Amino acid sequence: MRPDRDAVDLSPVTESSPALPAAVLWDMDGTIVDTEPYWMRAQEKLVESYGGTWTHEAAMTLVGSGLDRSARILQEFGVDMPADEIIQLLSTRVMEQISEHVPWRPGALELLIALHERGVPQALVTMSIGRMAHHVASFLPADVFSTVVSADVVTESKPHPEAYLTAAATLGVDIAQTVAIEDSVTGVTSAVAAGAAVIGVQHLLNLDDSGADRIWSTLAGVTPDDVASVLAEVRTEQSA
């Protein structure tokens, strides 16, 4: 397992370069956009509006979780609202912050565009609700996502593999020929269980024991051929 991006081979493409993945499946919060501070701010304001105190430690336990779980935890902190209303309110407040400033993660926007230009299908696989996922996608300079799988179109949230399996099925590709990019243990678990080759991008949570096939410190400077190399290497390792 590569400990960081420095070990990635950035040598020029040759005729023997590995084939590009059938698709690349992207997590959103923390992977493409650094929205976790926005979520934490929205959660804190909501809990405080009910006279409670929201802690950073509590907020960190929700990183990568489905919004249904987040709503239940907030209710335990005194938020007297139905779960769906909590989800909708938090999502709206996060979307408002995104509209003021899109917090792209390093290298994510560039890699999304590069993969699109190379003709690689891409899916957004997020446990945020659909209107927020499409809101983030609307800031991209190209229609890079062939499909969006969000919390409101699956029965089971991550770490269940349903979301990733749904994305591959919608794209009409073999999940084993895809690469998933994630930043949380919950998301990595979901993608690994689905059967994708998984790149974990270190951010707020330690991914050392997450089960990711590769762990990188950043996507800055990553090319489609780097992603293709991961898929080829992982499948070779698994067949050895």
Query: What CATH number is associated with residue 137?
Result: 3.40.50.1000
Over residues 166-180, mean pLDDT = 98
If asked whether residues 152 and 79 sit together in one domain, one would say no
Q: Do 14 and 131 reside in the same domain of the chain?
A: yes
Alpha carbons 175 and 195: distance in angstroms, whole number: 6
Pairing of strands 122-125, 197-201: unpaired
Report the amino acid identity of residue 82: P
User: Residue 5 pLDDT more than 60?
Assistant: no
| Coarse DSSP helix, strand, coil percentages of the chain, rounded to the nearest 5 percent | 45, 10, 45
CA-closest candidate to residue 204, choices 232, 180, 235, 183: 183
User: Which residue type sits at 6?
Assistant: D
43/150 same-domain check: no
- What is the pTM for the complete model shown? 0.85
Mean pLDDT for 227-235 is 97
Q: Strand pairing partners for 152?
A: none
- The three-point CA angle 67-73-77 to 5° equals 135
In this predicted structure, what is the pLDDT of residue 205? 83
The pLDDT of residue 56:
87
Domain that holds residue 218: 5-34+104-239
44 and 28 fall within a common domain: no
pLDDT in tens, 22-46: 999 999 999 999 998 998 899 999 9
> Do 91 and 166 sit in the same domain of this protein?
no
